[in-house]
C-alpha cells in the first residue's frame, strides 16, 4: 500500500452565499522514499491539499489515508496526535521561537510530547549535526542566516521521526544558493528511509531538479494522480551542491541515542 492514498478529495469553503471549491476531486498516490514537488498556479489548491495530508484540515468529501490511518475518521485529539507523531511541517518563514536557542527549537516537539529538555537534548544535537549546524547549537534564530534557520526547522521537523514531511514554500524566503542547499537536504531526508516521504509545495524554478516526482495541481485537481517512482534524485548525487557536504549519512533514529518516544 502506498504511504499516501488520496481519492476524490473535495474541499469546499463557504463565503457567505458563495462556495469556493479549493479541491475538486483530487486523487493522489505517493510512495515512501520520495521527494515530491507540488506545483501549479496560484489558487490551484496546493496548500489546501498539503493541509489535508497533514491533518490540519479535513476534506468536505473523499478519502485520505496516510501511513494506514484514515484521516477522515479522526477526532480532534486523534488528529493532533497524528500530527505530532507522524507529520513534520516546514514553513516558508521557519516559525522558530526567537527566545530559544537553535537546539531548543529542534527539541520543542519532544517537550510538547512531555519529554524533559535534558532528555531531548542529545537527539536535538544529533539532528543539528545532521543538517550541518553542529557548530551553531546555542545560537538564537536571529544569529542565523535564512538558510540556517530553515535547516534548524528541518531538524525540528525530524525529531519525532515523522512518516511524511510537508513543506510549504520552504525556499520562498531564501536566496538561490541557500534554497538549493535546502532542496538538496530535503531530497536527502526523503531518500534516507523507504517509509518516509517529503512533499513540498513550491514555486521554485529549480525544484524539479531535486525532486523524484513533480505533481501539478490545477483547478483543484491533481493532473497526474498515479504512483510513479522515478530514478532517485539524479542532480544532487551527480552534481553535489557546493558547500553541501553535511548532507551525507543516515538520519540517526531516536533509539540510537537510547531514548524512546511515547506512542
Ligand X SMILES: Nc1ncnc2c1ncn2[C@@H]1O[C@H](COP(=O)(O)OP(=O)(O)OP(=O)(O)O)[C@@H](O)[C@H]1O
Q: Is 235 exposed, middle or buried (0-12, 13-18, 19+ CB in 10 A)?
A: middle
DSSP symbol at 169? S
Q: How far is the CB of 57 from ligand X (least distance, A)?
A: 9
Judged by beta carbon, residue 40 or residue 179, the one nearer ligand X is 40
Q: How far is the CB of 92 from ligand X (least distance, A)?
A: 10
Find cell 518516509 and name the residue: 196
Judged by beta carbon, residue 42 or residue 75, the one nearer ligand X is 42
First vs last Cα of the chain: how many Å apart? 23
Judged by beta carbon, residue 40 or residue 54, the one nearer ligand X is 40
Judged by beta carbon, residue 128 or residue 215, the one nearer ligand X is 215
Which residues in this chain contact ligand X in the complex, by CB under 6 A? 13, 15, 20, 22, 40, 42-48
Judged by beta carbon, residue 22 or residue 53, the one nearer ligand X is 22
Q: How far is the CB of 205 from ligand X (least distance, A)?
A: 14
Q: How far is the CB of 145 from ligand X (least distance, A)?
A: 25
Q: Which three cell numbers stand for residue 57?
A: 484540515
The strands making up 69-70's β-sheet, listed across from edge to edge, are 18-30, 4-15, 61-66, 69-70
- Max alpha carbon distance in the chain (Å)? 56
Find cell 488528529 and name the residue: 79
Judged by beta carbon, residue 85 or residue 218, the one nearer ligand X is 218
Q: How far is the CB of 253 from ligand X (least distance, A)?
A: 33
CA angle 227, 26, 10 (to 5 degrees): 150
Q: How far is the CB of 32 from ligand X (least distance, A)?
A: 24
What region does 211 belong to: left with phi over 0, alpha with psi -120 to 50, or beta? beta
How many other CB atoms are there within 10 angstroms of residue 132's CB atom?
20
The answer to whether the CB of 130 falls within 8 A of the CB of 251 is yes
Amino acid at each position: 500500500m502506498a504511504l499516501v492514498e488520496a481519492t476524490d478529495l473535495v474541499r469546499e469553503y463557504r463565503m457567505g452565499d458563495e462556495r469556493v471549491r479549493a479541491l475538486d476531486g483530487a486523487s493522489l498516490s505517493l510512495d515512501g522514499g520520495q521527494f515530491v514537488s507540488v506545483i501549479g498556479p496560484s489558487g490551484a489548491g496546493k496548500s489546501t491539499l498539503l493541509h489535508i495530508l497533514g491533518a490540519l484540515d479535513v476534506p468536505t468529501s473523499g478519502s485520505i489515508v496516510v501511513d494506514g490511518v484514515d484521516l477522515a475518521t479522526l477526532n480532534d485529539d486523534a488528529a493532533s496526535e497524528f500530527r505530532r507523531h507522524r507529520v513534520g511541517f516546514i514553513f516558508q518563514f521557519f516559525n522558530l521561537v526567537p527566545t530559544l536557542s537553535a537546539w531548543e527549537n529542534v527539541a520543542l516537539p519532544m517537550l510538547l510530547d512531555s519529554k524533559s529538555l535534558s532528555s531531548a537534548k542529545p537527539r536535538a544535537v544529533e539532528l543539528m549535526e545532521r543538517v550541518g549546524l553542529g557548530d551553531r547549537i546555542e545560537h538564537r534564530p536571529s544569529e542565523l542566516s535564512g538558510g540556517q534557520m530553515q535547516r534548524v526547522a528541518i531538524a525540528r521537523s525530524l525529531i519525532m521521526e515523522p512518516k511524511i514531511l510537508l513543506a510549504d514554500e520552504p525556499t520562498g524566503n531564501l536566496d538561490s544558493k541557500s534554497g538549493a542547499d535546502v532542496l538538496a537536504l530535503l531530497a536527502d531526508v526523503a531518500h534516507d528511509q523507504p517509509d518516509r516521504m517529503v512533499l513540498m509545495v513550491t514555486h521554485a524554478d529549480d525544484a524539479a531538479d531535486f525532486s523524484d516526482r513533480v505533481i501539478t495541481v490545477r483547478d483543484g485537481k491533481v493532473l497526474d494522480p498515479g504512483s510513479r517512482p522515478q530514478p532517485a534524485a539524479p542532480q544532487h548525487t551527480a552534481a553535489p551542491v557546493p558547500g553541501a557536504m553535511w548532507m551525507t549519512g543516515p538520519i540517526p533514529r531516536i533509539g540510537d541515542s537510547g531514548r524512546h518516544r511515547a506512542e
